[in-house]
Amino acid sequence: MEERDSHQGWPRGTAVIGAGTMGLGVAECFAAAGIRVLLTDATPELTREAKGRLVRRTKGHADAGLVAEGAVGRAEAVETADDVAGAVGDVDFVFEAVPEDIGLKEEILDSCSAAAPQDAVIVSNTSSLPINNLSEFVGRPGRFCGMHWFNPPEWTPGVEVIPAAATEPEVVERLVEFLRSIGKRPTVVGDGPGFVANRIQNALFLEALRCVEEGLASPQEVDEVVRSCFGFRLPFFGPFQISDMAGLDVYENVLDVLKEGLGDRFTAPQSLRRLVEEGRTGTKSGAGFLQYTNEERERLLLERDRRYAALGALLEDLPPVDVGKDTP
Ligand SMILES: NC(=O)c1ccc[n+]([C@@H]2O[C@H](COP(=O)([O-])OP(=O)(O)OC[C@H]3O[C@@H](n4cnc5c(N)ncnc54)[C@H](O)[C@@H]3O)[C@@H](O)[C@H]2O)c1
């Protein structure tokens, strides 16, 4: 595993506020990229313990061959601060990852904003709190933005970047460029409840739970269906390209049956009906949610098959994660 070159350019120093599940993983990422990191948690003792955990988990990752050996030294070099003011005073990027409690976020963002340099960019890792509301807690809202990472942050590439109405476009560009430079895949999305990922993820979770409650399958069986059926495609394609490849007319018909049996939450939206009416039924007609030339369509289907075969082979090679069973 090759060590990343030391990060060049912005940010020169980061403060991670809240060293729990997310903050610690993000701190590991920043440190592994060769960025100076200052860490702080609720008390000096919790901060010291968190630093110990950070070094141990990085060692574990290095022992498993998942990160370069040098990452351990970089984790050891992470600095700790006794409080927010001590962490943010000399950095140009502040990453807030304290628990999802609006009162606590207000207190922490207010302290960050008061103690950080004027030009520091402050981001919140909130999963669901409106970014516009949080931006009211910082003195310079133009330099504040949502930055939603996913667990485990060391490995999950996607990050939602959620500007508030006041966020300066230059700040958004800078955050996107920075995330790309450390190997992440940022997408700028709007400030709605749960943004994009959690809204979709929770819709999936609720239907999964309903299937269990209605006795269709156990939790383990639902997980198997999700992973091995439609979930198998998700590393490569999202819902729009998947539905384009299946046929939007098929989706419309299926949704009509689901609505009949399960109610209005499955009503086919007008935007879908319109596409079908216009004959834009997906790859088979050359256009659906996306447009495809004949050559692109052929390439898409071939690359799809190549990727599915490669994923199938990878899953065969990996030992199954045979952990946990349905609770009686
Ligand atoms: N866990 C996830 O899967 C996940 C994913 C994406 C986003 N998030 C979001 O990230 C944020 C953090 O979540 P988490 O799962 O890491 O929570 P967590 O409870 O694991 O960690 C939060 C940390 O903040 C510390 N903390 C509490 N009060 C503090 C204070 N006053 N000053 C400094 N530190 C303080 C806690 O001691 C703890 O170590 C939340 O907004 C959450 O919604 C979580």
Strand-pair partners of 187: 160
> Could you tell me if the CB of 152 is within 6 A of ligand 1?
no
Q: What is the pLDDT of residue 21?
A: 97
Q: Is residue 126 within 6 Å of ligand 1 at its C-beta? A: yes
Sign of the torsion formed by the C-alpha atoms of 96, 99, 104 and 106: positive
User: With a 6 A CB cut-off, is 293 part of the ligand 1 pocket?
Assistant: no
Structure token digits, residue 317 = 């090679």
Task: Please say whether the beta carbons of 38 and 11 come within 8 A.
Answer: no
Pairing of strands 185-188, 79-80: unpaired
* CB contact at 8 A, 159 and 29: no
pLDDT value, residue 232: 97
118 CB-contact burial (10 Å; exposed 0-12 / middle 13-18 / buried 19+): exposed
- Quick check: 78 and 49 in contact, CB under 8 A? no
Joined together, the tokens standing for residue 101 give 């409690």
Whether omega for the bond prior to residue 157 falls within 30 degrees of 0, making it cis, is no
Q: How many helices (H) and strands (E) would you count in the chain?
A: 13, 8
Average pLDDT, the chain: 96
What does the longest C-alpha to C-alpha distance in the chain come to? 64
Determine the Cα–Cα distance for residues 234 and 289; give it in Å rounded to an integer.
17
Condensed to tens digits (0 to 9), the pLDDT of residues 238-273 reads: 999 999 999 999 999 999 999 999 999 999 999 999
pLDDT digits (tens, 9 = 90+) for 14-70: 999 999 999 999 999 999 999 999 999 999 999 999 999 999 999 999 999 999 989
Q: How far is the CA of 148 from the centre of ligand 1 (A)?
A: 12
pLDDT at 1: 60
d(CA 221, CA 212): 9
Share of the chain above pLDDT 70, in %: 99
* Cα 223 to middle of ligand 1, angstroms: 27
Angle at 169 between CA 164 and CA 172, to 5 degrees: 75
How far does residue 19's CA lie from ligand 1's centre (Å)?
7
Question: pTM for the full model?
Answer: 0.95
Q: Give me the pLDDT at residue 6, please.
A: 74
